[in-house]
């Protein structure tokens, strides 16, 4: 059984040509699909909506976001189809939970224009007869289908398009109108996929699916079997790294679809190795070369695997160069040659490779420091440590701080638990300092821990001793806090971090990119990039701060901010126009 299962896993990634099961529809008939699929909470939410009242539901999003799989889940859970039953192009089935009819379209994107129009009409007719409808479609065909549906009416095509885009962007889980049709649009491209990763890993490592993997010809020398054993024993640790890596991508606008995540994990476990070819591979290094620590990063041993670069998450992890960063394990591994920090199974493989390549070859000091092969060996050792060093929770947080950003472990804590009182003060100081740098300039000495000055500045001047001051903001005017959000896609609590100024009516969210941006600026970074959309939001915030916190004094008073040896000082210059005098305070 395990051989067929391994082939099934290998067919689910696009690092080779046999990715037959990378498309959702082809998976439903496989017995393995039932074993590894993850029931999504959003499916239960939509079933509840259907039970409450007749509903017209549209599932849209990117290819690979799980639209068809979600439809299949809903139909199974309402006993409308059998578990391994393939979906038809369209069909009307009975919802056995309510006794009403349920009309579905597997993928309207694949249908011709006239047929799409018929599907929309059939969906409406079903809802009007107390049933419900679920239509799956990509965004472009969805817009064109509704435009075609309203072609002979008074509804403007641009208005129809804006209605759909508005519902997709909001993704509020509330019904809205497309023309005169009331629909519930669920845009799966905006949902967080990382919450299903731990359940997906658990299912991929289901012991029943791996029965007999130890009985093949290579036995314990089989890298796929070794990867399974290693992952099974250190499952929680691997899940912790994988989840937080995928979350880092998602929160930095590089979100992966479910298909892309599954493609990465299936490749990392199997390396797409063919069992009948294993006997010709170097037995001495096979466990290391195809170890999951190398495969997860897109390497076979020390060599980058070009086929693996077809997998998006591997491309992204190589861009980040995590295995080139100096880690706290470096001293033990590379100087003391002490591998005790690694989990036992990984320790033996890693130490043998280190001895094989480093002790048998007489490298000069210069070669050890600057040589290509020693550099590649150190990278591989770090990959082993990143995934399988034995660490407690605090040490793992420190590792994530080194690999990603010092603020990232704190962000993960804020997201899961909200912000504690002490952390509020620390984060408030970071935000306040960052805003000072953004407004006054990174080289300005005219700053204060308790006041954020709002000066007029000349473009191109980053450091001035005298500023024309138009307003100021006290430290206590800023509030940093968190708020728990309603989570319809997971049972895990989610908190959003936000800032609020006492004179501004709205709050401002602090997503990970802005948190990281503020942290880098507050700690003296001179080269920090930010998404243009988020950057625009910061400029808008600055404009609102200047507007709401400007001085209320009349035009007769000019305020100068001057840097003195005792710190910044404000001088008022009052104009007495009648007597043609200036008064300094």
Report the SS3 class of residue 148.
helix
DSSP state of 342: B
DSSP string, 485-553: EP-SS-SS-EEEEEEEETT-SS-EE--HHHHHHHHHHHTT-S-----HHHHHHHHHHHHHHHHHSB--S
Read off the pLDDT band of 268 (50, 70, 90): very high
β-pairing, 478-485 vs 494-501, is: antiparallel
Closest CA to 165 of 136, 187, 132: 187
Name the pLDDT band for 141 (thresholds 50, 70, 90): very high
What span, in angstroms and rounded, lies between the C-alpha atoms of 216 and 374?
A: 35
Digit-coded pLDDT (tens) for 499-530: 999 999 999 999 999 999 999 999 887 666 77
Q: Is 324 exposed, middle or buried (0-12, 13-18, 19+ CB in 10 A)?
A: exposed
Degrees to nearest 5, angle at CA 10 with 39 and 276: 145
Task: Give the pLDDT band of residue 273 (cuts 50, 70, 90).
Answer: confident
pLDDT per position as a tens digit, 522-538: 988 766 677 777 888 88
Does the pLDDT at position 257 exceed 90?
yes
Q: Which of 180-194, 255-269, 544-558 has the lowest mean pLDDT?
A: 544-558
Please give the average per-residue pLDDT across 195-208, as a whole number. 94
Domain definitions of the chain by residue range: 38-190, 194-409, 418-463+471-541
Query: What is the arithmetic mean of pLDDT over 278-288?
Result: 76
Q: Residue 269: its pLDDT value, please? A: 95
Q: What are the DSSP E strand ranges found in 96-242?
A: 100-105, 132-136, 176-178, 181-187
Residue 168 CA: distances (Å) to CA of 63, 155, 225, 252, 461: 15, 19, 44, 20, 43
Return the H-helix or E-strand segment holding 92. Answer: strand 90-95
pLDDT attached to residue 567: 72
Q: If you average pLDDT over residues 463-489, what whole number do you get?
A: 87
Higher pLDDT: 240 or 583? It is 240
pLDDT of residue 526: 63
Task: Give the residue from 15, 17, 60, 12 showing the smallest Cα distance to 36.
Answer: 12
Mean pLDDT over the full length of the chain: 88
How many angstroms separate the CA atoms of 77 and 57, rounded? 16
Closest CA to 494 of 566, 404, 412, 436: 412
Res 581: pLDDT: 67
Are residues 511 and 531 in contact, defined by beta-carbon separation less than 8 angstroms? no
Instruction: Count Cα neighbours of 55 within 13 Å in the Cβ-side half-sphere.
Output: 23
C-alpha of 252 from chain center: 6
Q: What is the CATH number of domain 38-190?
A: 3.40.50
Phi, psi angle pair for 245, to nearest 5°:
-70, -50
Q: How far, in Å, CA of 386 to CA of 554, rounded?
A: 61
Residue 93 contacts residue 74 (beta carbons within 8 Å) = no
Q: Is the confidence at residue 182, as pLDDT, over 60?
A: yes
Give me the phi and psi of 495, to 5 degrees please: -115, 140
Chain centre to alpha carbon of residue 92: 36
Residues 6 or more apart in contact with residue 333 via CB below 8 angstroms: 339, 341, 354, 378, 381, 382, 385
Query: Which tens digits make up the pLDDT trace of 324-368?
Result: 999 999 999 988 889 999 999 899 999 988 888 876 665 655 666
Tell whether the model's pLDDT for residue 34 goes beyond 90: no
User: What SS3 string covers 94-112?
Assistant: EECCCCEEEEEECCHHHCC
pLDDT bracket for residue 422 (50, 70, 90): confident
Rounded distance, CA 449 to CA 444, Å? 14
CA separation for the pair 317, 18 (Å, rounded): 24
| pLDDT of 102 higher than 60 | yes
Strand partners, 178: 181
**What pLDDT was estimated at residue 105?**
97
Per-position b or e across 165-179, b if 16+ CB within 10 A of its CB:
eebbeebeeebeebb
**pLDDT reported for residue 185:** 96
pLDDT of residue 495: 95
Which among 285, 287, 168, 272 is positioned nearest to 219, based on CA atoms? 287
Report the percentage of the chain scoring pLDDT > 90: 63
Q: Looking at residue 310, what is its pLDDT?
A: 94
Q: What is the mean pLDDT of residues 58-64?
A: 92
Among 332, 363, 362, CA closest to 347: 332
Query: Could you give the CA distance from residue 448 to residue 342 in angstroms, rounded to a whole number?
Result: 46
* Percent of the chain at pLDDT exceeding 70: 89
């Amino acid at each position: 059984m395990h051989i067929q299962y391994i082939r099934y896993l290998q067919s689910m990634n696009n690092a080779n040509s046999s990715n037959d099961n990378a498309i959702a529809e082809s998976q439903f008939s496989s017995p393995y699909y039932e074993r590894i699929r993850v029931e999504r909470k959003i499916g239960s939410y939509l079933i509840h909506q259907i039970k409450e009242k007749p509903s017209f539901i549209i599932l849209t999003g990117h290819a690979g976001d799980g639209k068809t799989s979600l439809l299949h889940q809903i139909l199974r859970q309402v006993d409308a189809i059998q578990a391994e039953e393939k979906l038809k192009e369209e069909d009307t089935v009975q919802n056995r939970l309510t006794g009403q009819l349920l009309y579905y379209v597997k993928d309207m994107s694949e249908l011709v224009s006239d047929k799409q129009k018929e599907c929309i009409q059939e969906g409406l007719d079903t809802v009007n007869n107390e049933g419900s409808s679920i239509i799956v479609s990509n965004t472009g065909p969805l817009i064109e289908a509704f435009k075609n549906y309203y072609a002979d009416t008074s509804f403007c095509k641009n208005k129809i398009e804006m209605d759909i885009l508005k519902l997709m962007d909001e993704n509020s889980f509330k019904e809205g109108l497309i023309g005169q049709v009331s629909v519930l649009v669920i845009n799966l491209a905006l949902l967080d996929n990382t919450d299903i990763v731990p359940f997906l890993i658990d299912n991929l490592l289901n012991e029943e699916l791996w029965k007999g993997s130890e009985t093949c010809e290579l036995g314990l020398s089989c890298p796929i079997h070794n990867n399974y054993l290693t992952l099974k024993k250190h499952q929680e640790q691997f899940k912790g790294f994988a989840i937080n890596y995928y979350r880092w991508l998602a929160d930095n606008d590089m979100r992966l679809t479910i298909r892309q995540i599954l493609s990465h994990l299936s490749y990392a476990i199997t390396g797409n190795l063919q069992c009948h070819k294993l006997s010709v591979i170097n037995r001495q290094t096979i466990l290391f070369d195809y170890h999951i620590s190398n495969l997860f990063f897109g390497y076979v041993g020390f060599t980058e695997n070009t086929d693996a670069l077809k997998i998006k998450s591997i491309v992204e992890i190589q861009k980040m160069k995590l295995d080139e960063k100096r880690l706290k394990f470096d001293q033990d591994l590379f100087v003391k040659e002490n591998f005790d920090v690694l989990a036992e199974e990984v320790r033996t493989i890693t130490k043998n490779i280190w001895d094989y390549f480093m002790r048998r070859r007489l490298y000069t000091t210069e070669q050890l420091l600057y040589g290509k092969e020693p550099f590649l060996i150190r990278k591989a050792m770090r990959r082993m440590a990143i995934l399988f060093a034995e660490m407690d929770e605090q040490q793992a947080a420190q590792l994530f701080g080194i690999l990603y950003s010092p603020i990232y472990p704190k962000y993960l804590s804020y997201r899961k638990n909200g912000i504690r009182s002490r952390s509020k003060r620390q984060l408030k100081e970071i935000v306040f300092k960052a805003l000072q740098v953004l407004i006054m300039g990174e080289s300005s000495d005219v700053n204060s821990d308790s006041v954020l000055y709002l000066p007029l500045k000349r473009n191109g001047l980053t450091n001035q001793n005298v500023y024309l001051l138009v307003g100021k903001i006290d430290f206590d005017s800023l509030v940093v806090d968190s708020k728990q959000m309603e989570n319809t896609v997971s049972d895990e609590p989610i908190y959003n971090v936000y800032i609020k100024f006492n004179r501004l009516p709205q709050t401002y969210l602090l997503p990970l990119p802005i948190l990281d941006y503020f942290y880098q600026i507050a700690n003296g970074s001179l080269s920090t990039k930010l998404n243009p959309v988020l950057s625009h939001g910061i400029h808008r915030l600055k404009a609102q701060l200047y507007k709401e916190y400007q001085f209320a004094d009349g035009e007769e008073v000019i305020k100068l901010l001057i840097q003195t040896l005792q710190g910044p000082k404000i001088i008022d210059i009052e104009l007495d126009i009648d007597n043609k005098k200036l008064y300094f305070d």
